[in-house]
Amino acid sequence: MKHVLAALLSLILAVTVRATAQGPPTPPPAGQAPPVQGGRGAGGQAGRGFPAQQKPLADPAVIARGKTLYEISCRSCHGADLRGGDMAGPNLLRSQIALNDNDGESIGEIVRTGRGEMAPFDLPLDSVKAIAAYIRSILATARGQGSPPAGPRVELNVLVGDATAGQAYFAANCSSCHSPTGDLNGLAQRYADPMALQNAWVSGGGGGGRGGRGGGGAAPAGAPSRREVRVTVTLASGEKVEGRLGRIDDFIVTLTQADGTSRSFRRDGDLPRIDIRDPLDAHKKLLLVYTDTDMHNVTAFLATLK
């Protein structure tokens, strides 16, 4: 799900983003998506994926009993979330022994005989099996790409920047295009989540047009959006054809004219002449310039625009 969301976001922002590791980024040219190559998450192939852990679960009553026994005997060393504890018990969610256990045969042996610094526990077989069943039930909730099970929600504070410094940075670098009382008025209301706010302003994807989501769609229907990439093609005859850029590569440029019709032109080296106006050009160039502190400060400032 996370991957799908990330993939959607990357399409919306039309940038090279991947939530996967083994595939190369394959940004689709506007208008047509080449075959997707990525997807290291379970089931990168077409169709459904496979769960990371497939061992059959025990009866819920056995798992519940195992949880209780785990809390009593194991938690202090291996942690409430099984990811290891203060007393040096290893992370059971990436333990080769736990991962290979089917019915307590591997876990049970260690429980009853001890291992390294771990003392043996004198537990009856059914208790050992119940603990193993509980551990397997948690393993089954692990997420893709080796991620642990979702833990309790942790509040993470993205707003660590200095809003005053951010305001100064904004005045120096952003105010030629944007105004806190104009296009960005009430921005923080449109992005209640500071992380979403930061992603939106850094990418420039927060306004109307194709890149926009939710924000400032005030442009009347039919009018060029502020976010549209415009292109002018100057033909050998001197005729200029202007419109919204569809796509461009070394061999073709396509555009949509004001009347909604589409045109395409063959490219051969520098001919015909192509002039592209990308309203996000400044945003893209600034990516090479921002420090993380600049970014956090501006986010803190923009979060005040309520």
Partner 1 sequence: MMIKQLTLAASALGLSTVLLSGQAQVLVDPASLLKPLGESWPTYSGDYTGRRFSALKQVNKTTVKNLSLAWIVRLTAGAGAAGGGGGGRGGGGGGSDVIMGGVGTEIAGAGPANVKGAILMVNDVLYVSSPDNVWALDARDGRELWHYVWRTRGGTHIGNRGVAIWNNYLFFETPDDYLVSLDAKTGKERWHVEIADFDEQYFSTPAPIIVGNHVLVGTGNDLDMPGFLQSFDPETGKLQWKFYTVPMNPGDPGLETWPSLDAARHGGGQVWVPGVYDPETKLYIFGTGNPTPGYTGVARKGDNLFTCSLVAVNVDTGKMAWYFQTSAHDTHDWDSAQTPILIDGTINGKPRKLVSTASRNGYFYTVDRVSGEHVVTSKFGTASNWANGLRPTGVVEPNPGKEATIPGSLVSPVEGGVTNWPPAAYSPDTGLFYVHERNGFNIVYLTDPDPRGSMGLGGKTTSGVGAAPSYLTAIDYKTGKAAWRHQFPGVTGGGGSGGILATAGGVLFTGDAGGNFVSFDANTGKPLWHARIGGISNAPETYLLDGLQYVLVAVGDALYAFRLN
**Residues of this chain, 133-152, that bind partner 1 according to CB under 8 A:** 142-148, 151
- Other beta carbons within 10 angstroms of residue 68's beta carbon come to 13
**Unique residue bearing structure tokens 């979403």:** 196
Binding mask 8-37 for partner 1 (x = CB under 8 A): -xx--xxxxxxxxxxxxxxxxxx-x-xx-x
> Which residue from 96, 176, 181, 261 is in contact with partner 1, where contact means CB under 8 A?
96
Nearer to partner 1, 168 or 202 (CB): 202
Q: Is 92 in the site for partner 1 (CB under 8 A)?
A: no
The answer to whether 300 and 158 are in contact (CB under 8 A) is no
List binders of partner 1 among 241-270 (CB under 8 A): 245, 247-252
Least Å distance between CB 17 and partner 1?
3
Interacting residues of 263 by C-beta distance below 8 A, sequence separation 6+: 241, 243, 254, 255, 257
Is 84 an interacting residue with respect to partner 1 (CB under 8 A)? Answer: yes
Q: Which of 118, 159, 168, 241 binds partner 1 (CB under 8 A)?
A: 159
The footprint of partner 1 on this chain (CB under 8 A) covers a number of residues equal to 95
How many C-beta atoms lie closer than 10 Å to residue 40's C-beta?
14
Interface residue with partner 1, options 65, 67, 244, 296 (CB under 8 A):
296
| Least distance between partner 1 and beta carbon 115 (Å) | 12
- The string of DSSP letters for 46-96 reads SS----S--PPP--HHHHHHHHHHHHHHTHHHH-TTSS--TT-PPPGGG-H
Q: For partner 1, which residue of 4, 61, 218, 276 counts as binding (CB under 8 A)?
A: 276
Site for partner 1 in 189-218 (CB under 8 A): 195, 198-199, 202-204
The answer to whether residue 56 forms part of the interface with partner 1 (CB under 8 A) is: no
Q: Is 39 left (phi over 0), alpha (psi -120 to 50) or beta?
A: left
Q: Residue 11: count other Cβ atoms within 10 Å of its Cβ.
A: 14
Asked if 158 interacts with partner 1 (CB under 8 A), we say yes
HEC readout, 197-250: HHHHHHHCCCCCCCCCCCCCCCCCCCCCCCCCCEEEEECCCCCEEEEEEEEECC
Among 1, 154, 172, 221, binds partner 1 (CB under 8 A): 154
Nearer to partner 1, 75 or 94 (CB): 94
Examine residue 1 and tell whether it contacts partner 1 (CB under 8 A).
no
Q: Are 74 and 87 in contact (CB under 8 A)?
A: no
